[in-house]
Amino acid sequence: MTTAPTSRRPASPVSARRRRAYLRLMRNKPGSLAYLTLVAVLFFSGFPLYYSVVVASRDNSALGQIPPPVLPGANLVENIERVFATVPFDAALVNSVIVSVAVTASVVFFSTLAGFAFAKLEFKASKALLVAVVATMMVPVQLGVIPLYMLMIELEWTDTLWAVIAPGLVNAFGVFFMTQYLRGALPGELIEAARADGASTFRIFWQVVLPAARPAAVVLGVLTFLTAWNDYFWPLIVLSSPDRYTVQVALSTLAGGYVTDQSLVLTGTMLATLPLLAVFALLGKYMISGIMQGAVKG
């Protein structure tokens, strides 16, 4: 490794190789090993999801074959019908849509509202309050389920969707995320100008801030929707009638039956995951940018 000053000499094989390596590094080009690794990772990422479709489209006897099936079969429709006959899965889908949409709308709205205040308005103790928001991001509120359950009994909300929606209405990550975004994306002059025109603060929020926040709102919305759709622990505790179940709880009752019917369970899994895959296919790139932005600033 003492070949550093070779550039003046006519290229020896060693220096030519190093030069190529150097150029590759400067252009930061991956070698074939990098591609191979990434393709392998993609395979392992996708295979379990693919395999759930294989199981969902077979009948149970096919799963005992040696070797096990690796291609989809012809029983998908029949299995889907069986899922809907076993648990009220249609009600569960509707419930999950209601919960996820309500939670997403609320989180995006309140986060933008608070983010606007933290990013662009001056008020007492704003710094300390923002620190409080950031600190609450790490608090494991899931551990408060017992008093939360008692609270829901008090409010007579147990076994209703209210009980699932209420704890999700706001979250600290959303406020922090929106604050960071609006700080950079919203020019102060725009607000000054609107004020000079006599606009009230809320009017500024409605007509200036909300449109400016749209890109971040989409990102936050996708992330929140996924989290709400996939929530399991709390809905499992607070919902008790099958027609009130969300998709995740319905799915877990399928899986927890005394006779485990794998085709049935994985068909349910596929049905529960498909809406998310659709969201992901359409808005996945927003999710990626959201995770990456949250990382840099967090």
Partner 1 sequence: MSLATRSDTTKRPAATGGGPAPVGPWRHRLYRLDLKASPFLYIAPFFALFAAFGLFPLAFTAWVSMHDWSLLSDEHAFVGAENYTALLTDPYFWNALGNTVSILALSTVPQLLAALLLAHLLTMRLRGRTFFRMGMLLPNVASVVAVAVIFSQLFGRDFGLINWVLESLGAGRIDWQAGRASSHAAIAVMVAWKWTGYNALIYLAAMQAVPRDVYEAAHLDGASRLQQLLRITVPMIRPTIVFTVIVSTIYGLQIFAEPQLFGGAGPNGVTGGASRQFQTLTLYLYEHAFNRGFEFGYASAVAWTMFAVIVLVALLNYLFIRRIRSDS
Binding residues among 133-152 for partner 1 as defined by CB under 8 A: 133, 136, 138-151
Nearest CA to 157 out of 239, 91, 246 is that of 239
Under the binding rule (CB under 8 A), the answer on residue 255 touching partner 1 is yes
> Rounded to the nearest whole angstrom, what is the least distance from the CB of residue 78 to partner 1 in the complex?
19
Q: For residues 158 and 149, is the Cβ–Cβ distance under 8 A? A: yes
Question: Token digits for 142?
Answer: 């899931």
Please list every residue from 206 through 225 that binds partner 1, using CB under 8 A. Answer: none
Decide: is 181 part of the binding site for partner 1 (CB under 8 A).
no
- Helices 172-185 and 214-230 pack at an angle, to 10 degrees, of 170
How many residues touch partner 1 under the rule CB under 8 A: the total is 104
Between residues 214 and 285, which has the closer beta carbon with respect to partner 1? 285
Under the criterion CB under 8 A, does residue 128 sit at the interface with partner 1?
no
* Integer Cα distance of 290 and 182 in angstroms: 14
Give residues 86-115 in contact with partner 1 (rule: CB under 8 A): 110-111, 113-114
Euclidean distance between CA atoms 247 and 225, whole angstroms: 14
CA distance 166 to 46: 34
Tell the smallest beta-carbon distance from residue 268 to partner 1 (Å): 8
C-beta of 28 vs 189, nearer to partner 1: 28
Half-sphere exposure of 19 (CA within 13 A, CB side): 12
- Residue from the set 6, 15, 51, 160 that interacts with partner 1 by CB under 8 A: 51
Calpha distance 102→94 (Å, rounded): 12
CA distance 245 to 230: 13
Using the rule CB under 8 A, give the single segment among 9-17, 97-105, 182-190, 253-261 that binds partner 1.
253-261
Comparison of 11 and 169: residue with beta carbon closer to partner 1: 169
What's the closest the beta carbon of residue 11 comes to partner 1, in angstroms?
Answer: 17
